Structure 1
Amino acid sequence: MTALIQSALVVGGGFSGMSAAIELRKRGIAVDLVEIDPHWRNYGAGISIGGPTLRAFRTLGILERFLDEGYACDGLDIFSASGVLLTQVATPRIAGDEVPGSGAVMRPVLARILADATRASGTDVRLGCTVTALDQDEQAATVDFSDGSQRRYDLVIGADGLYSQLRERLLPQAPKPRYSGQGVWRAVLPRLASVTRTMLWVGDHLKVGLNPVSQNEMYLFVNEDRPVNDFVPPEEFLPRLDALLAPFSAPPVQEARALLDEKSLVVFRPLEGLLVEQPWYCGRAVLIGDAVHATTPHLASGACIGIEDAIVLAQELEQAPSLAAALERFQQRRWERCRMVVENSMRLGEIEIHGGDKAEHMRIMHASFAALAQPI
């Protein structure tokens, strides 16, 4: 057991929060996790997974289950809207020689894998519960909960996402999420036999992708330039997505389009980003994941850097001479990597929106993937 802390509260039951609970429990720390959603749901279609994320899964102890329930592959192909191959991008096997360099999984499947590991770790999970007050002194943080209870902890970890309430409490001057000028459409479809790894088609102000999420399913995603972040009624999701795919004559895109129906779980969301300047902690409370660095999906690394936060925080709590030193070392180790992902992803979106330099776009992607392949 680490000498620095013996108890911790994790606020938020998303990927980052569950990862923090798992890693702290490995070190003998008593962990409570509170999640405001009483059903612990995870919405969305698929999520693309890169080599650094697979490496993090190995650290968490969930890699084998991901390989069983998700989909792993090597490389990606980029085409024109008509299907002409433009380039192929290698995905190095950084999680191990036997582990492919990329992949994808359904978001609810990954959430279930992590939730099972969190409960198995011995974490006390409390659903339908959140923080209503937080007071700190030199010895501990006193937390009041929405169920009327009160507990004291050595450390509070805020992993409550892009619209973090804990961030509002700890860092009221932090910036708000910023709309990127793009939105993403996603759907789940039966996997086409031709789709064995990530495939992208680039059109005018649109980018279409297909990615296997299991042996039987794939997910479709479309990045759309949207100057105005206006509301899209859910009943319009399916017809709007169908219309966006019409200009892409590439056969796999049209085959996927023909599979779209009311059961395709079509979702839409605007793409927003956030980067909070240091510090990411205040006293005995620290923020991780989307609460301090939310990214658009251009580098497929948002979940990755949040999970890495959890791993690095647990390491520093085990190694540092004091809690303050652990939190400072945590943010110093994470800042440059997370800044790079958020800012480079936003820049990639800007190039796509304004029809910018495609060579710059490719340079940013290659440089970003090379940086992410480095140890954390």
Structure 2
Amino acid sequence: MSPSHPQPHSQPHSQQHKILIIGGGFSGMAAAIELRKRGQQVDLVEIDPGWRSYGAGISLGGATLRAFRQLGILDPFLQVGHASDGVELLAPNGATLALLPTPRIAGADVPGGGAIMRPVLARLLAEATRASGTQVFLGSTFTEIRQDAEGVDVRFTDGSQRRYDLVIGADGLYSKVRQAVFPQAPTPRYSGQAVWRAVLPRPDSVDHAMMWVGPKIKVGVNPVSQTEMYLFLTEDREHNTHVPPADFYRLLDALLAPFSAPLVQQLRSLLTPESQIVFRPLEGLLMPRPWHQGRVVLIGDTVHATTPHLASGACIGIEDALVLAQELEPGDGLDAALQRFENRRWERCRMVVENSGRLGEIEITGGDKAEHARIMRASLMSLAEPV
């Protein structure tokens, strides 16, 4: 048979699905962008009418920048965020302990890591989501999901109802979709640590990620733009109790006091009661497989929320979106596609959640520093692997 007459049925045709994404966070928006790129019809509902993203800065590894490149937002990110190579580890007095290399996973021309303000990253993704032709419904979420063999009927908070081929739950750590479809799923677990983050003007000397490692407290900084940086501090807190925002400045100032490094004290002097300070107890979740039931699949923090010890929570959620869009393409049936998606994602996501959790445990118990270094190295090598 001549090459111009391919064998019939040699390759299933790409199939267009009508897809609903519930949740307009990083993984939900990434899914919308990538699915539209591949010709799928996409609606996205987001409960917050202002589509806001809260928080200060977010540190990103090379694997995240690789995902940005695939999504088409790497150039805008490099314009408004900040990318640099290496992480400098220092003692509380400022002596350099080590320089951790960050391989250039996203390409020889792109530094190995970076950081950006969360709201700025959310804006970049939101602009790309709208530009992709996704239909976005703000101030809306589902009230009921009912599925049969052929599709999913979803009722919304405005009373309307629409039918879809697939529903993607991307509504975060406290997911209502997870609750509705997997009532037996585990709930988020407090890790025994909390993180403080503050946005500050960036001194010239802060042009890469730096971390001062104390006996119980870790302080770090990362540039997020040409003019700003964010400071983060991880502390052990036995109980997950409410901390009044009025106390944020006083408590963070006291936590920074023991670090005699001149740069830490310079940054401490920049903090004021008016500074933008965010406090967050660290919680984690790893939902056992399956991550889908029938025509509903969960991605991102809904199934694998991680503490920030490997700076990879947003990364693995965005990767979920890219892999899911890819696996839906062959058009050989949803169940096969969703199985392949889970097969490709489970081990990597489990590794990030469990290794991040273990790093936190070692920090809390003052455990073996060599094990900490070993886990860090193995995890970062694993994250550099192709997705």
Q: Aligned residue for 1:60?
A: 71
Match of 2:3 in 1: none
Of 189, 194, 215, which aligns to 2:226?
215
Contact 1:179 1:273 in 2 (8 A): yes
Partner residue, 1:90: 101
Rg (Cα) greater in structure: 2
- Pairwise CA distance, 1:320: 5.5
Task: Indicate conservation of the 8 Å contact 1:5/1:154, yes or no.
Answer: no
The DSSP-based 3-state class of the residue aligned with 1:139 is coil
The residue that corresponds to 1:369 in the other structure is 380
| Residue pair 1:2, 1:29 contacting (<8 A) in 2 also | no
Q: Find 1:327's aligned residue among 330, 333, 338.
A: 338
The DSSP-based 3-state class of the residue aligned with 1:306 is: helix
How far apart, in 1, do the equivalents of 2:127 and 2:27 lie? 14
User: Which residue matches 1:141?
Assistant: 152
Correspondence 1:25-104 to 2 at 5 A = 25-104=36-115
Question: Quick one: which of 292, 301, 311 aligns to 1:300?
Answer: 311
Letter in 2 for 1:303: A
1:6 deviates by: 2.0
**Secondary structure of the structure 2 residue equivalent to 1:228:** coil
Instruction: Report the CA distance between 1:30 and its aligned residue.
Output: 1.0
The alpha-carbon deviation at position 205 of structure 1 amounts to 1.4
Give the whole-Å Cα distance in 2 for the aligned partners of 1:216 and 1:2. Answer: 49
Q: Distance in 2 between matches of 1:299 and 1:338?
A: 12
- For the residues of structure 2 that align with 1:161 and 1:195, how far apart are their CA atoms? 32
- State the shift of 1:86 in Å: 1.1
Give me the TM-score of the superposition, normalised by structure 1. Answer: 0.99
Task: Give 1:262 deviation, angstroms.
Answer: 3.4
What is the aligned counterpart of 1:200 among 211, 225, 232?
Answer: 211
Tell me the residue number matched to 1:11: 22
What's the offset of the Cα at 1:192?
1.2
Q: CA deviation at 1:263?
A: 3.6
1:319, distance to aligned residue in structure 2 (A): 2.7
Percent of residue pairs identical: 68
Q: Distance in 1 between matches of 2:73 and 2:152?
A: 31
Q: Give ranges in structure 2 of 5+ residues lacking alignment.
A: 1-11
Q: 1:252 aligns with which of 250, 257, 263?
A: 263
Q: Deviations over 1:162-220 (max 9, x none)?
A: 00000001111111100000000000000011111000001121100010001100000
For structure 1, the 5+ residue unaligned runs are none
> In the alignment, which residue of structure 2 is the partner of 1:122?
133
**Partner in structure 2 of residue 271 of structure 1:** 282
The equivalent of 1:113 in structure 2 is 124
How many residues end up aligned between the 2 structures?
376
Aligned to 1:22: 33
Partner of 2:292: 281
Query: SS at the partner of 1:25?
Result: helix
SS in 2 for 1:318: coil
Q: SS where residue 329 of structure 2 aligns?
A: helix
Map Cα deviations across residues 4-31 of structure 1 (whole Å, 9 max, x no partner). 4421000000000000000110111111
Aligned counterpart, 1:350: 361
Asked if the contact 1:54–1:102 (Cα under 8 Å) also holds between the matched residues in 2, the reply is yes
* Matched-pair contact (CA < 8 Å) for 2:173–2:302: yes
In 2, are the aligned partners of 1:14 and 1:159 still within 8 Å (CA)? Answer: yes
How do residues 134-213 of structure 1 correspond to structure 2 at under 5 angstroms?
Answer: 134-213=145-224
TM-score (norm 2): 0.96
